[in-house]
Amino acid sequence: MTDEAPVSDKVARRWPVVSAVIVIVLAVLLGLIIAIRGNLPFEGDAEWMEEIIEHRHPAWEVPSLVMNFLGGGWFAYLLPAAVAIVLCVLRRYWSALFLAVASILSALLVQVLKSLVGRPRPEDMLVTSDFGSFPSGHSANAATLVVCLAIIFRRAWIWVAGVAYVVLMMVSRTYLGAHWVSDTVGGALLGVGAALIVWAPLARKLRLESSG
């Protein structure tokens, strides 16, 4: 007998790593392209922002501000922390660790890319935000949380509701003028990558915990 993990466990760890590397590299490449272009918005970015500004309405502003609150500031730290505490109460300690580490890694990756790319935010903003438009921290936070919860609970409806939540977050960031569309895409990619890379070494523990 050896202490090596079964082949199925090795495969289960390998594909999250490969997937994580792919999406993170895509996010970094997108940031690199943006920086090389002098941080100018892509044509699609500019066209979408023009449409948003032209069709702004109070009925859309309120839900966008709600999403702004849910995905950023102190609540962005409180939400995953609260979920992690609930998981601990349910004795899902590995799941709580998974969510906590993935959330921290996602936030770190966002800040690193913000500093490296240094993209100014759009001019017509409806909220106050710090410097660094690429990538969107709100989108990254949303994507990380959704992927972690979907992996932990393994329910199809969580994926469906989660994808809707991430898309709404991305749209709300552009509606408020806080980000270009490409910023939100980069943020979502980073969020997914952070969750997958942390999942890889914990996949077996999480599976045993959910079945135990």
pLDDT at 17: 85
Q: Give the count of beta carbons closer than 10 Å to the beta carbon of residue 152.
A: 21
Q: What is the pTM of this model?
A: 0.92
Q: What is residue 10's predicted lDDT score, i.e. its pLDDT?
A: 61
| Spans of the chain, pLDDT less than 50 | 1-4, 7
pLDDT at 1: 40
Handedness of CA 157, 158, 161, 167 (dihedral sign): negative
* Distance between CA atoms of residues 177 and 22, nearest Å: 29
Predicted confidence at residue 211, as pLDDT, reads 80
Residues in the chain: 212
What's the pLDDT score for residue 14?
A: 75
CA 119-148-131 angle, 5° bins: 15
Q: What domains can you pick out in the chain, each with its CATH number?
A: 7-211 (1.20.144)
What confidence score (pLDDT) does residue 83 get?
A: 96
Which pLDDT belongs to residue 73? 87
